[in-house]
Structure 1
């Protein structure tokens, strides 16, 4: 194999930490994958993978080489795409990640639109409520809500979202409407963090923050379940506005303490493309950006 072919095999193994998985992806035999890695390590003069009877991990040199190899292969793919023509129909696999509920509400409809426009494409979407590492985990695009740390990633702002407190009309009729965040000490709180019996709710601006440490009456994993509990009158939730837009619109939930809601958090599309960018990524970003910027609950 030439160096590019060896590099392709190494990236497949490094992404999955599995020789068998890489063999299935590349339609090669396990023996061929093993020989390719051995050849690559011999040419580089250093172990890139650490093998044991139960697992495969990257060596320190292998971790650095994996990142460089991904970049080289992506640049080659970009060069090929430009040679074919920037207007060529995108094809291949696009890997996308977003927060769970944001993905369900906004990204899935966008993916459906994207696949209808570009039938040669396939999309793998992972929705998790944590910040993934695009390079280490092999994603093309991520939706990130919140302030961005300095990084080498490209970022496009597509909206912003506030975080408010909400309760059902029945709950407010029974327990009253809090007028200040400190009044929440007298109320029943629904938390989306089950790792602690207490919640810290933050209100106010960056210049005048108000943090209230509250004991929750109900802790549950996931915003969907917390919203369901609030609809039953269990207590007050504190969530991003977009997550309850439908319930607020039909009057099932009522926003409270809005004057203390503080600053909105930015929403970005994060990607790791070169300055030219592949058509599959560029077209997806354009489509999703237009859809999100047109969504009233994200502004």
Structure 2
């Protein structure tokens, strides 16, 4: 028998003064309870109980052991209850990792509202654009945008991330409005990435996918910086509407090649597979799905 189970059996015998009664309360046979106590006595090299034909009573060593057993079993029960509450109720520390631009533009306000709904939760959030392993880095939820590589992680789609090509009206007036992707080679383009060389945009022509080489005037791994450069008239950029949607609505940027859109991306929450998904993780993902949904607030039409 497991040591904790044996300790529990011993404590029941002391409390009831009977192997048979302890067995009835635990759903065990009298012999199973007696065997568990004998195993403890062998392990401890001490007699724990004085046995008579009428009653069982603890020895001096048994009484001291009983008091410790009661304390240990109570702590185990409380620990199990606390762990169960962590899965049943949103509490504890929620660790989130997210892309920089999306985090500052949309998660900041969302998390502030979420924390008001769940005051027993604390939040630790880190922002960066590199893909991390949430298991290795101890993160509950990783939010990522784009195609997801095959992994052992579970992904839940939070919202679409629609990409559009856009430029400042002043730039288009000066350089002309492209009417076909092939014309992009004659334009300055502001590209996302880490190098200006060999930049290509993937655009849709109906069901056909076009891979179009572009002249990268500026390359950056932060979409907000590219958006600022586009508004300043430095070229055409390809960015998600959650970054440049407000500038398009304000007229600071104009969508181009609307009939040849880039492939849409998805905003997803990634988390480690777990049969017992913690309530804090579950309710936060549900909150974001409801907040953003299929028609997120940053869309331009």
Normalising by structure 2, we get a TM-score of: 0.66
Change (3 A) 1:246 1:81: farther
Q: Distance in 1 between matches of 2:176 and 2:206?
A: 28
Change (3 A) 1:121 1:206: farther
Conserved? CA contact 1:197–1:219, under 8 Å = no
SS in 1 for 2:136: helix
Q: Distance in 1 between matches of 2:223 and 2:86?
A: 44
The answer for unaligned runs of 5 or more in structure 2 is: 1-78
Q: Distance in 1 between matches of 2:107 and 2:277?
A: 21
Q: Any residues of structure 2 matched to 1:267-286 within 5 Å, and which?
A: 267-272=267-272, 274-286=274-286
Displacement of 1:247 in angstroms is 0.3
Q: Distance in 1 between matches of 2:80 and 2:238?
A: 47
Displacement of 1:198 in angstroms is 4.2
Aligned residues between the structures: 221
Q: Any residues of structure 2 matched to 1:1-299 within 5 Å, and which?
A: 80=81, 83-84=84-85, 88=89, 90-204=90-204, 208-272=208-272, 274-293=274-293, 295-297=296-298
Change (3 A) 1:213 1:262: closer
Conserved? CA contact 1:188–1:235, under 8 Å = yes
What per-residue deviation string (whole Å, max 9, x for no partner) do you get for residues 8-58 of structure 1? xxxxxxxxxxxxxxxxxxxxxxxxxxxxxxxxxxxxxxxxxxxxxxxxxxx
Conserved? CA contact 1:206–1:263, under 8 Å = no
Displacement of 1:263 in angstroms is 3.4
Structure 1 moving runs of 4+ over 6 Å:
none
What per-residue deviation string (whole Å, max 9, x for no partner) do you get for residues 237-285 of structure 1? 1111221011011111011111111432222211125233212112211
Conserved? CA contact 1:158–1:269, under 8 Å = yes
The answer for unaligned runs of 5 or more in structure 1 is: 1-77
Displacement of 1:110 in angstroms is 1.4
Displacement of 1:79 in angstroms is 6.3
Q: Distance in 2 between matches of 1:114 and 1:193?
A: 32
Decide which moves more: 123-132 or 145-154: 145-154
Conserved? CA contact 2:86–2:278, under 8 Å = no
Displacement of 1:87 in angstroms is 5.2
Q: Distance in 1 between matches of 2:195 and 2:111?
A: 33
Q: Distance in 1 between matches of 2:176 and 2:256?
A: 11
Conserved? CA contact 1:203–1:260, under 8 Å = yes
Change (3 A) 1:270 1:219: closer
Displacement of 1:148 in angstroms is 2.9
SS in 2 for 1:137: coil
